Chains A and B, each alone.
Chain A
């Protein structure tokens, strides 16, 4: 440790600031926060590798086994969906980052410092959610597009022409929607994190909602499960990257709005509690 001094004369005086601390400064602060911890980069790398890797594996297997595919498999084959299947696993990675973005403030105690810097909690909450959403959108879209193009290239190795392009009906929507699905899942975890304020609890609850609930519903009689399934947040994702509507789903954007509805509800509930609760 260097010698210390109480002499403040070498400190420059601060230029006076007009107005008050606002959303802009808080956004810059949250950008600094998210880019200055390693977990951000790790989760983003893992998300990319998992999404693209699994998509590549599935499309490669599909292409190399295409000659053994049944007629019904050939009839219902969706090349876009096939190449985006890795997003189904990528969602769990973004859930971790979304939950951590909020709950790490509590587990580290940083929240008390953060709220001293920006005591207007609505501004803080909004800035944090926005910065996370943009980060998730970038990595989500990159992963979705890379998975799509790599997947189509691998499908091209099949003996028949089974790949598709962005120009084909609904394909662009499916690929862009894949990235949006990542954002929505991440924000769902962020919102649940702001409700429970505990990392492990937030991650397990979100994964339970997205992964375990649909499995349980699947075991119900089909007439029931179809009616229930379309109201589950998890269906929003699978619907958005389908290029043909399934029997148990609303149309793609309608089904996606179900997921967005849950996400919005959780974010609003989290915001209300965040405003009221002691930090």
Chain B
């Protein structure tokens, strides 16, 4: 259980987190969504007590993080994968963390096995790939067998197998009754993983809801119809209060009417239907619509493969201008970790 009340963080004249209030419940995966620079990482740092809130408070199990008896046994966190001393072996990295929280040595070997790093346990972590570093960070988070887990962009830089592994892990942890709080700037990642989502933009809470409700409330569902009498159906739909646009020779996309209503209209007017289906708006689309106004830096160069990077090298890939073509976010390569952290830093200080 994580509770955040009126949490606010100001860096200079920039409000990074603006009066956030939300609760993360145990037993499910809660996605923490927002564009880059929305304040997700800052919120997580405030929850961990790494940064001091300007006002408000963040509680884990009803206590501030600093007041937890053995913090790693109650809450595990993965912030940046590279928050390790590269000259230290994976084993010694985990060992020094375990010792602080009176966690036995054999648990270090166990979590190394769990994340698949046993073979490189004695190797210095500076030679690790980003994926291996992520696994090491997850091993650290699981070290204390905590009831609350928090991951900041955990699938960054992972291959498809690694992404599937993390999804399964998060769902398994939630199924055991743990609180799992995971941030991402990619909606598509959350669609199959999270049950609840918290959406922020420019440090402000935009929504806290379930995935299904979020889509239903924030996007207009459409009905797809194929019919040999497209023109006639379009008129009938208009008469019934909907609007239809043609898409191809015999297909219509209808807004403003449900599938039931469209079927009834067709029946009443004697129009033959070959297909009648609901097109569910994707989470990605709902998110883009909702946060269009709160994306801090829009990419200004479209389709050149080169995104404009204003204000201190912020990583702007994946942010399209609101009226631009929808970007292929799901296919975009994950940004390199160092760019990511630089952008977070820029977000804090600019």
Contacts and interface: CB of A to CB of B under 8 A. Distances in A.
Interface stretch (B19-27, B62-70, B182-190, B276-284): B62-70
A204 B6 CA distance: 43
A12 B114 CA distance: 12
Given A109-B80, A120-B66, A15 B96 contact: no
Contacts of A28: 99-100
A109 B144 contact: no
Interface stretch (A19-27, A73-81, A87-95, A260-268): A19-27
A110 B83 contact: yes
A115 to B, nearest CB: 6
A109 B342 CA distance: 12
Contacts of A21: 69-72, 100-102
A3 B116 CA distance: 7
Interface string A1-23: 11111101011111101011100
B169 interface: yes
B181 to A, nearest CB: 14
Nearest to B115: A4
B89 interface: yes
B50 A6 contact: no
B102 A6 contact: no
Interface residues of A, number: 46
A64 B68 CA distance: 66
A119 B165 CA distance: 30
Interface in B105-144: 106-107, 110-111, 113-116, 118-119, 132, 140, 144
Contact of B145 (A2, A4, A13, A25): A13
Interface string B42-76: 00010011111000000000000110111111000
A29 B100 contact: yes
Contacts of B115: 4
A33 B98 CA distance: 12
A1 B70 CA distance: 32
A205 interface: no
Interface centre among B48, B89, B96, B101 (most CB of A within 10 A): B96
Contact of B73 (A1, A11, A14, A39): A14
B69 A19 contact: yes
B87 A37 contact: yes
A279 interface: yes
B168 A6 contact: yes
A119 B66 contact: yes
Interface string A113-154: 111111110000000000000000000000000000000000
B100 A118 contact: yes
A30 B92 CA distance: 11
A65 interface: no
A115 B97 contact: no
A110 B145 contact: no
B251 interface: no
B95 interface: yes
Given A1-B116, A4-B115, A117-B100, A17 B70 contact: yes
B50 A279 contact: yes
A60 B100 CA distance: 49
Contacts of A20: 68-70
B324 interface: no
A14 B65 contact: no
A14 B113 CA distance: 16
B88 interface: yes
Contacts of A15: 104
A33 B85 CA distance: 9
B49 A115 contact: yes
B180 interface: no
Contacts of B140: 113
B107 A6 contact: no
Nearest to B89: A36
A32 B172 contact: no
Nearest to B49: A119
Contacts of B111: 11
Nearest to A107: B85
Interface of A: 1-6, 8, 10-15, 17, 19-21, 25-26, 28-30, 32-33, 36-39, 104-105, 108-120, 276, 278-279
16 contacts: A11-B110, A14-B73, A14-B145, A17-B73, A21-B100, A30-B96, A32-B99, A33-B96, A105-B85, A108-B82, A109-B82, A112-B45, A112-B80, A119-B71, A276-B52, A278-B51
Given A21-B101, A108-B84, A112-B45, 6 more contacts: A2-B116, A3-B116, A14-B145, A115-B50, A117-B101, A279-B50
